[in-house]
Structure 1
Amino acid sequence: MKRIFACLLAAALLLACAGCGAKKSGESGEEKTLTGTLDEVKDFMFVVTDDNGDSYALTFEGGAPEGLAEQEVGDRVTVTYTGELSVVDAFTGQVLSVKAAK
């Protein structure tokens, strides 16, 4: 009887933990773009202001994203990223590339 109870308890624990590995709703894998003016560049982040005047701080880890080193403050750029951008909340995603806007 103890073995059956232990197996049932283990199965319940596995089912309860199954959802823990799911993606958060803000961590979409879909690629998106943002076009605007590069306002600031630091070792861990950069700021882009779009045509509506909204500024977005995009953070990165493990080195600058592809193409950022070729851009200068004041340049018009297109940023390709995954995740969610917000004017007030921290960036949740990954910057894939930064290129000169057309």
Structure 2
Amino acid sequence: MKRIFACLLAAVLLLACAGCGGKKSEAAAEEKTLTGTLDEVKDFMFVVTDQDGTSYALNFEKKPEGLADVSVGDSVTVTYTGELSEIDAFTGTVLRVEQAK
């Protein structure tokens, strides 16, 4: 009885570990870009308006790479992970901000 219980427990642990590992690597690999005009910069977020006039507020905990190199009014390209929405709060991570070419 103890052997059967130990085997079942080992199988459950194996499946739990295998299920958690795949999801993180897929989400981390999906980088997206947004190009538009930098409208506002604060200590914890910035706003970019795209060519269609839609504004997106992107929040951050750590200042993203390149944000200090651009100014309000510049055309920028933002590389990020996660989902953008003009209604809901940004749920991803800003990887870098650079002057648009």
**What TM-score do you get using the length of structure 2 for normalisation?**
0.77
Deviation for aligned residue 1:5: 2.1
Q: Given that residues 34 and 50 in structure 1 are in contact (C-alpha distance below 8 angstroms), is that contact kept between their aligned partners in structure 2?
A: yes
- Unpaired runs of at least 5, structure 1: none
Counterpart Cα distance in 1 of 2:84 and 2:32: 10
Residue aligned with 2:87, SS: coil
**What TM-score do you get using the length of structure 1 for normalisation?**
0.77
Residue aligned with 1:27, SS: helix
How many residue pairs get aligned? The number is 100
Residue aligned with 2:6, SS: helix
**Residues 41-50 or 78-87, more deviating:** 78-87
- Unpaired runs of at least 5, structure 2: none
What is residue 60 of structure 1 aligned with on the other side? 60
Residue aligned with 1:23, SS: helix
Counterpart Cα distance in 2 of 1:97 and 1:9: 44
Taking only the aligned residue pairs, the percentage that are identical comes to 78
What is residue 10 of structure 1 aligned with on the other side? 10
What is residue 80 of structure 1 aligned with on the other side? 79
Q: More relative contact order in 1 or in 2 (CA 8 Å, sep 6+)?
A: 1
Structure 2 counterparts to residues 1-102 of structure 1, below 5 A: 1-23=1-23, 27=27, 29-62=29-62, 64-102=63-101
Q: Given that residues 39 and 49 in structure 1 are in contact (C-alpha distance below 8 angstroms), is that contact kept between their aligned partners in structure 2?
A: yes
How large is the RMSD of aligned CA atoms in angstroms? Answer: 2.3
Write the letter of the residue equivalent to 2:75.
Answer: R
